[in-house]
């Protein structure tokens, strides 16, 4: 069966904008977050406290946070933190929700974090325990869960190991990233079955699909049938990942909401309003949204 309700974890301001060529002024980023909230998104990943040289598009995290205003209870504005330095910066800005980001493969750990997989897990361990001690909600991303541009197909057992390590550290939620968008429904089923077999509770799992090969919605539906109820998406289909060459096209939030609405699944999102937000952002970026739902709804 399918769940009656799905929680959408919006990543546009972070995963979207980090990979756009155009630099967006910090006031526009703040306005983007406000408009996404107003369209009904309860979780909006706002930015990253990473090294500014690694992700120049998000170098204004310190300027952005104060512009986002007070957080009403129930609203989440998570931020990415790769290490203790990043966590300190996030705590200094009143963040309540943080995310570390691991990789299922050695190659991407090296490219994205300048560490071996084991070294990167060792880097996250004190970050997660300190964050939990500070009362933070902590997400653990796992990138390249299905395929890797250097290593090819990724065996589920390899992903399961990293997921278990993150849960043992104390992460509240795992997000399974198909960073280069190569997953297909059978592979999604195999990974979710592997996680289930390893005792990873499905209510701790989120899915993060990219639409590179047009499979993001099929993969999402497969995950919902396995009991997953948290789905990552990016308004207007913005962005990818700057350290994975072939990573284009996060699943567009509008495409996701269109499917969920058709299935009678509640999301709390006002689709017309959201598509208008993405149309507005597309104008700021000077390029049309790649989302077919946005184009259909806005006539762009």
Question: Which residue, 237 or 279, has its beta carbon nearer to Mg ion?
Answer: 237
Site for Mg ion contains 148 (CB under 5 A): no
CB of 120: closest distance to ligand HMG in angstroms?
8
CB of 73: closest distance to ligand HMG in angstroms?
26
Residue bearing tokens 């609405």: 261
Site for Mg ion contains 143 (CB under 5 A): no
Tokens at residue 81, please?
């933190």
DSSP three-state, residue 173? strand
DSSP annotation string for 29-53? HHHHHHHHHHTT-SEE--EE-S-TT
Q: Dihedrals φ, ψ of 228, to 5°? A: -70, 135
Q: Dihedrals φ, ψ of 167, to 5°? A: -65, -40
Where is 79: in which H helix or E strand?
strand 79-80
CB of 176: closest distance to Mg ion in angstroms?
11
Site for Mg ion contains 15 (CB under 5 A): yes
Please provide the size of the chain in residues. 300
Question: Which residue, 77 or 297, has its beta carbon nearer to ligand HMG?
Answer: 77
241 is known as an active-site residue: yes
Site for Mg ion contains 215 (CB under 5 A): no
Residues forming the site for ligand HMG (CB under 6 A): 15, 48-51, 54-55, 82-83, 85-86, 89, 101, 112-114, 141, 143, 177, 179, 208, 241, 243
Judged by CB under 5 A, which stretch of 15-23, 85-93, 185-193, 252-260 contacts Mg ion?
A: 15-23
Instruction: Give dist(CA 55, CA 49) in Å, integer.
Output: 9
Instruction: Give dist(CA 257, CA 242) in Å, integer.
Output: 26
Residue 50 binding partner per list ligand HMG, Mg ion, none, with a CB distance cut-off of 5 to 8 Å that depends on partner kind: ligand HMG
Question: Which residue, 158 or 298, has its beta carbon nearer to ligand HMG?
Answer: 158
Tokens at residue 97, please?
């929700």
Task: Tell me the catalytic residues.
Answer: 241
Question: Site residues (CB under 5 A) for Mg ion?
Answer: 15, 250
């Amino acid at each position: 069966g399918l769940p009656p309700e799905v929680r959408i974890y919006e990543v546009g301001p972070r995963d979207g904008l980090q990979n756009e060529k155009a630099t967006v002024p910090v006031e526009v980023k703040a306005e983007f977050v406000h408009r996404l909230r107003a369209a009904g998104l309860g979780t909006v990943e706002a930015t990253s406290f990473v090294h500014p040289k690694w992700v120049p598009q998000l170098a204004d995290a310190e300027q952005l946070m104060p512009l986002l205003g007070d957080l009403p209870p129930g609203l989440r504005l998570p931020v990415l933190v790769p290490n203790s330095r990043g966590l300190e910066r996030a705590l200094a800005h009143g963040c309540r929700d943080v995310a570390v980001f691991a990789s299922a493969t050695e190659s991407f750990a090296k490219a994205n974090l300048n560490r071996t997989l084991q070294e990167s897990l060792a880097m996250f361990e004190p970050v997660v325990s300190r964050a939990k001690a500070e009362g933070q909600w902590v997400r653990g991303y796992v990138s390249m869960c299905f395929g890797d541009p250097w290593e090819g197909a990724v065996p589920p057992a390899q992903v399961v190991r990293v997921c278990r390590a993150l849960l043992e550290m104390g992460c509240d939620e795992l997000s399974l990233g198909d960073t280069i968008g190569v997953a297909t429904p059978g592979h999604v089923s195999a990974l979710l079955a592997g996680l289930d077999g390893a005792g990873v509770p499905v209510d701790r799992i989120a899915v993060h699909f990219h639409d590179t090969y047009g499979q993001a919605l099929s993969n999402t539906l497969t995950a919902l049938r396995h009991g997953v109820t948290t789905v990552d998406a990016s308004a207007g289909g913005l962005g990818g990942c700057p350290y994975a060459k072939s990573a284009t096209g996060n699943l567009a939030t509008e495409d996701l909401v269109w499917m969920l609405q058709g299935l009678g699944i509640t999301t709390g999102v006002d689709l017309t309003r959201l598509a208008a937000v993405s149309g507005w952002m597309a104008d700021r970026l000077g390029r049309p949204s790649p989302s077919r739902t946005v184009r259909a709804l806005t006539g762009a």
